Structure 1
């Protein structure tokens, strides 16, 4: 048997790298302390012993936790600052939108008020024109009545000719034919349409616009303005009317209103915005005179 067979092994178990480094550091520090002490004092001086406390694993873990907490706090601060910035931007946008909406509403109110004022002005102007027309018609009718009374020597009535009204209200009607029939039919077909100043159809008319369109339907061109229309053709008396004749109010060269005689002592005309296109008796608004184109 070998002499070394019963000798236990002197090999020590291998230590981990971290433990070896830790021990090396402690030993180095200890030896360095002894060397310094030996150089400074006599040979018989007592050895100096120094205890070095090394950080434990617990303290290292606490340091890591602290660093993590600091980083988390910094991140939370940044997020809060970002949230505050976004909130400020949202508040500014809301304030701007509210201001713009207020300005838009004020502008809309201003425009609506201006439109209402313009409508009121136009309505007042139209009413003024209608009142002036009525006054002018009344004056012309009074003048015509005075002239007729003087020319007839105070007689109160006489028999009428074809289609004119007699003093007893009876009428003698001559049926229209040819172009006259077309003109009368067109005029009657527009009864009930609206009156609009400057209107030339097809659903709204003024007085001269209706007369012009009726004659155009029969192939006859007339001027657009009432006083120009009343200056055309030949003048006829109200006692010698025929269907299709043009009635006018005012003077022949300065008439302010025209209509179409349709027979039976009646006329069709675009009177005013209140009545529109209507059929009326000559007695309802006696014309100043009449002209014949046909």
Structure 2
């Protein structure tokens, strides 16, 4: 082993080639500048005694770092500006699309509202025309019923009570011939007023709870018919059928109350008008009608008069 193997070296570390070259270049440039200045001056010029401070590698590195940092910052700022511009462009495009969509939706709603308004106006016009037509028809029907009522009342007043009694006697003596006697039976006095009122309402509507003047239920019509003759009746059908005297269906007289169901629990009532027929507010499909007893035979009858 060498005797100097463990002696530490005192040589300075070598500088890198790039650093040496950089120092050499800077020094050479400065010296070259001085030499050119000396050669260009007069021969008698005094030697240059001005001291020139040469930049050090440390200051050059700092300047270079500053330049690199500034360039990086400028690049970053430019990228940020471009990103903001792209975002603004995208936001403007999105806003334009939304505005276009909103306008289209507003136009659609406005068109729908115009169409709905036109439809409602057309329906309202049709409803007005229908109501006017119904009013005219109702006025004509009412006038016809009033005329028929007056005619019936006049006829009933001119009938003699003796003719009515003989008809009743024939009906009582022979139940099988009741239909024939009823065909010639005529109402008189109070019964005539009840029958006339009931017949005058034929064609009116049926409405549950209806008490007139243009719509009725069964007991409402019977109550109003008797009220026209000055007789007060209860409002409910089973109450009406519980009044008066029970009579046979073969011995009916005009003005008798017909009932369906039991006498104390009837669910429907009508007015017998003679001739084997009755007038009643049947249902919402038929309204107030005049029908034969055979069309819907009643359960029984009561006589109030």
Q: What TM-score do you get using the length of structure 2 for normalisation?
A: 0.45
Q: Which one has the bigger helix percentage?
A: 2
Q: What TM-score do you get using the length of structure 1 for normalisation?
A: 0.46
Which structure's relative contact order is higher, taking Cα pairs within 8 Å and 6+ residues apart? 1
